[in-house]
A and B are shown apart, each in its own frame.
Chain A
Amino acid sequence: MSDAQMAARHIPDRLEGPAARFVKSWESLLLVVAVLVFTVNSFASPYFLDPWNLSDATFNFTEKAMIAFAMALVIVSGEIDLSVAAIVALASTAMGYAMQLGFDTPVLVAVGLGAGLACGVVNGLLVTGLGLPSIVVTIGTMSLFRGLSFLILGDKAFTGYPESFSWFGQGYVWWVFSFELCLFAALALLYGVILHKTNFGRAVYAIGNNQTAALFSGIRVGRVKFVLFMMTGLMAGLASICLTARLGSTRPSIALGWELEVVTMVVLGGVSILGGSGSIPGVVLAALIMGMVTFGFGLLNVPGIVMSIFIGLLLIAVIGLPIVYRRVRAR
């Protein structure tokens, strides 16, 4: 796979203008797909173009997208975090436990964020402190974190969250704009700025492209990666708050399989799984597409597992087709 990457990195005779670059970019392709999905959906079902229905549809992706933003940075830096869904489960379990001890909403939120952050720190320490490959470490911690919530909950569930807590998952800021949707927009902006407009973001790209070169140019590779894993844990904690508040209960199987959907979202958004390239606008568009497709299928009564086939095909197609296209053009 490195050979293909190497061949693609030639130096062009002259740079294309910004307009040409935008038209040829992955993001504009995603934009076309998003518009297409939106149009097809609104023709396929008469219920699609209702503001409240559309607002409901956003719950399909907002929580996953929060994690996907942080995951995008992790993947750009050349690592991966497969434990995110397990962190959601453990943070939710921690909040449920705190609730049973009689704590109220502010403490629950702090516990959720704290648990997520702590899990991220564990991942970060294992990957950067001990220098272990992140894919195996996070497969291990995925099993550990979810295992802990199974250990605490067994076959039971925490229910009866306070009324004020449920606002994080069910509340609306204004008209059809839910708290989750606003949070999603704010985080998209925040992560866009972090990745594209700060030194930290440049460092993330540099590490993903060439870790050794990044190290020699004075970037503290270990520290940057540690922060990335911490941020991912924190985002998983945040998503856990929203999800728990929305469902109103905690089971150890909460958010099962989300790590795959989050990675799919990131990769669909044009982030190279090998690290070094990708953008937040791409991830935002990918989140919208996945949410709209899921919602559209839902309106057409397509079962969830059939949607997952579609997501799987989508994942392989979006990565495979550009490679095929490049091959055909090279001939």
Chain B
Amino acid sequence: MKMLLKNREMLLVVAILVLVGVIALRFPGFVALRNLVNVYNDTSILIILALGQMAVILTRCIDLSMAANLALCGMVAGLINLAMPGLPIPAVVLAVILLGAFLGAINGLLVWKLDIPPIVVTLGTLTIYRGMIFLLTNGAWINAHQMSDAFKSLPRGVVAGLPVLSWLSLIMIAIMLVVMKRTPLGRAFFAVGGNPHAAVYTGIDVGRTRFLAYCLAGALAGLSGYLWVSRYAVAYVDIAIGFELDIIAACVIGGISIAGGIGSVPGAVLGALFLGVIKNALPVVNISPFAQMAISGAVIIVAVAVNARAERRKGRVILKKAEAI
């Protein structure tokens, strides 16, 4: 039992189960398989984004521009569809993934080549990317009736009982699991975040690794952009505004240390699911949806406090900076 409690992912699983259990006590309908599938499907986009943010945070960076990147890519996907309704959807998706990766690469290059602190870079590109949407469209919306049916129906299609959107997030989780556990790049993410100086001596290019993390996050944001726009069947300047905080919240709740080097794919996924369950449960238990923001804020703070204690106990870092007294 103690072993289980020490494991952060297990702790989160328990927390989510308790949460779902409490809700189920009063509203048994919530635990119906149909509904749980819906909750997962609803959280899929957040999961995909959290995976990208995880890679960035692992390398001691942060990407505040993910939601703006998502919005820009989503709008571009909509515009491509508007201009060429006949273009096959996979081509559109590929295009926005590349665009997302390119936008991520801009962040990465500024961090890598100019040594600008990541938070400053992404604060800047956050406003720039969102502003670009306005420049592209002059503030116009793309509505459901302007999108082709194929464009809207892809994430909704059901394969083997699960919507394609859910499948896509499962595939992304699988890919990220392999990348993090089985490739030099995945190990490099951890090494760079754990100790950048040591990483240099083992032959890892710290800047390049960070650059690749940003590209990865950007590509996932691009994919999410298409998914978001096609799922909600609308694109405008302000879609997903403020969502960057939800993404970071998911990572923090999932035990990814903001100081870099600590974290896991299951953690990021569970963190996102935790937020997803809360978001979907609020209307069920009849709490005002306006409470969601305050609750996720409180959850973030508790999660940070819990994680910080867990990290301190390990005593992994020697010669650490003096604690503020």
Name A residues whose Cβ lies closer than 8 Å to a Cβ of B: 1, 4, 80, 126-128, 130-133, 135-137, 139-148, 150-151, 153-155, 211-212, 215, 220-222, 225, 252, 260, 263-264, 267, 273-274, 303, 305-306, 308-309, 311-313, 315-316, 319-320, 323-324
Known A139-B248, A141-B301: A315·B325 in contact at CB below 8 Å: no
B296-315 CB contacts (< 8 Å) to partner A:
296-298, 300-301, 304-305, 308
Extra inter-chain contacts (6) besides given A127-B324, A305-B139, A306-B135, CB under 8 Å:
A131-B308, A136-B252, A136-B300, A144-B298, A221-B325, A308-B131
Determine whether the beta carbon of B304 is less than 8 Å from that of A132.
Answer: yes
The 8 Å CB contact of B116, one of A155, A252, A308, A316, is A316
Determine whether the beta carbon of B127 is less than 8 Å from that of A311.
Answer: yes
Across chains A and B, which 7 residue pairs bring their CB atoms closest together, nearest first? Answer: A147-B294, A144-B297, A143-B297, A147-B293, A309-B131, A140-B300, A312-B127
Greatest chain A CB density within 10 A among B127, B130, B237 is at: B127
Known A133-B259, A211-B321, A312-B124: A1·B115 in contact at CB below 8 Å: yes
Determine whether the beta carbon of A308 is less than 8 Å from that of B130.
Answer: yes
Determine whether the beta carbon of A151 is less than 8 Å from that of B119.
Answer: no
**Contacting residues, chain A, for B130 (C-beta < 8 A):** 305, 308
Known A308-B131, A309-B132, A315-B120: A139·B300 in contact at CB below 8 Å: yes
Name B residues whose Cβ lies closer than 8 Å to a Cβ of A: 62, 110, 114-117, 119-121, 123-128, 130-132, 134-135, 139, 237, 245, 248-249, 252, 258-259, 288, 290-298, 300-301, 304-305, 308, 321-325
- The residue of chain A having its C-beta at the shortest distance from the C-beta of B293 within the complex is A147
Known A131-B308, A133-B258, A133-B259: A126·B114 in contact at CB below 8 Å: no
- The residue of chain B having its C-beta at the shortest distance from the C-beta of A3 within the complex is B115
- The residue of chain A having its C-beta at the shortest distance from the C-beta of B301 within the complex is A140
- The residue of chain B having its C-beta at the shortest distance from the C-beta of A261 within the complex is B127
- The residue of chain A having its C-beta at the shortest distance from the C-beta of B258 within the complex is A136
The 8 Å CB contact of A143, one of B62, B114, B237, B293, is B293
Known A140-B304, A141-B297, A148-B294: A273·B128 in contact at CB below 8 Å: no
Known A128-B324, A221-B324: A309·B135 in contact at CB below 8 Å: yes
**Contacting residues, chain A, for B62 (C-beta < 8 A):** 135
**Contacting residues, chain B, for A263 (C-beta < 8 A):** 123
Assembled-state Cα–Cα distance A215/B324 (Å): 8
Assembled-state Cα–Cα distance A260/B295 (Å): 23
B184, chain A: closest CB distance, angstroms:
23
Assembled-state Cα–Cα distance A148/B293 (Å): 8
B214, chain A: closest CB distance, angstroms:
14
Secondary structure at the A interface, as helix, strand, loop or mixed, is: helix
B310, chain A: closest CB distance, angstroms:
12
Determine whether the beta carbon of A312 is less than 8 Å from that of B126.
Answer: yes
The 8 Å CB contact of A146, one of B293, B298, B305, is B293
Determine whether the beta carbon of A143 is less than 8 Å from that of B296.
Answer: yes
Determine whether the beta carbon of B127 is less than 8 Å from that of A144.
Answer: no
- The residue of chain A having its C-beta at the shortest distance from the C-beta of B138 within the complex is A303
Determine whether the beta carbon of B293 is less than 8 Å from that of A312.
Answer: no
Known A135-B258, A211-B324: A315·B124 in contact at CB below 8 Å: yes
The 8 Å CB contact of A316, one of B125, B132, B139, B301, is B125
Known A139-B300, A220-B325, A312-B124: A305·B110 in contact at CB below 8 Å: no
- The residue of chain A having its C-beta at the shortest distance from the C-beta of B129 within the complex is A312
